[in-house]
Amino acid sequence: MNYNQAQQRVNDLRKFYKNLTWFGIVALFIFFNRVFENGKINLSLFHGSLILTIWAIILVVKAVKLFVLDSEWERKVMQKEIEKSKENF
């Protein structure tokens, strides 16, 4: 991994954690707002909030991209494909 790739990965991680923090703040705000509004705790997933559900899906996709399908994974797959092509010759 060269310097530019490392810098891009750090920027992507920073953006992900920042987005995750904002998601947590907004989710807590909505949760406590509904608790004080209704006077009872409802533990259903995001209380039916479409915005939080879509936001959570986006965060999961970004997390998979950052932590599972990272450059190391890409390098391993590329190496396997190169080895397959060598075996064919």
Query: How many domains is the chain partitioned into structurally?
Result: 1
**Cβ atoms of residues 18 and 24 within 8 Å:** no
| Tens of each residue's pLDDT in the chain, 89 residues | 678 878 888 899 999 999 999 999 988 888 777 777 776 665 555 556 788 888 999 999 999 988 888 777 777 888 888 887 776 65
Q: Is the full-model pTM beyond 0.85?
A: no
Structural domain span for residue 61: 3-88
Using a pLDDT cut of 90, give the percent of the chain over it.
22
